Amino acid sequence: RYPKPDGTVCQSKSFVGEGVKLDCAGGCGAVMMVTATFGMVAAARAVERRADGRALRPSRRTPGNA
């Protein structure tokens, strides 16, 4: 589903020309802030692990041993 400037959504992606903005009018501004926060936290944890000398491999947690 793709957001439209009027707030509705459509099932097909429309291709726009010049002047494409990733702001709240296009539905991407708020999403960017959320995903950027998650990305920065993940990057910070990776840097901390690297600085501690630990491997950057994902943990092997399963729902039973978390």
Q: Which residues of the chain fall short of a pLDDT of 70?
A: 14-30, 55-66
Residue 28 has what pLDDT?
A: 58
2 φ/ψ angles, rounded to the nearest 5 degrees: -125, 135
Q: For 9, phi and psi rounded to 5 degrees?
A: -125, 155
18-33 pLDDT, tens digit each: 566 655 666 555 577 7
Name residues whose C-beta falls within 8 Å of residue 27's C-beta, 6 or more positions apart in sequence.
3, 4
Identify the bridge partners of residue 10 per DSSP, sorted by sequence position: 2
Per-domain boundaries in the chain:
2-10+22-51
Q: What is the pLDDT, as a whole number, of residue 57?
A: 65
Q: Residue 3: enclosing H or E segment and its boundaries?
A: strand 2-3
